[in-house]
Chains A and B, each alone.
Chain A
Amino acid sequence: NAGVTQTPKFQVLKTGQSMTLQCAQDMNHEYMSWYRQDPGMGLRLIHYSVGAGITDQGEVPNGYNVSRSTTEDFPLRLLSAAPSQTSVYFCASSYSFSRFQPQHFGDGTRLSIL
Chain B
Amino acid sequence: DQQVKQNSPSLSVQEGRISILNCDYTNSMFDYFLWYKKYPAEGPTFLISISSIKDKNEDGRFTVFLNKSAKHLSLHIVPSQPGDSAVYFCAARSRPRGSTLGRLYFGRGTQLTVWP
Contacts and interface: CB of A to CB of B under 8 A. Distances in A.
B44 A105 contact: yes
Interface of B: 6, 9, 31-32, 34, 36, 41-46, 49, 51, 89, 91, 93, 96, 101-109
Given A42-B89, A98-B102, 7 more contacts: A4-B43, A43-B44, A45-B103, A90-B44, A100-B32, A102-B46, A105-B45
A48 interface: yes
Contact of B43 (A42, A45, A97, A106): A106
Interface in A23-38: 33, 35
Nearest to B93: A100
A108 B103 contact: no
5 contacts: A42-B89, A50-B96, A58-B103, A105-B45, A106-B43
Contacts of A104: 46
A56 B101 contact: yes
B104 A103 contact: yes
A73 interface: no
A43 B2 CA distance: 12
A85 to B, nearest CB: 19
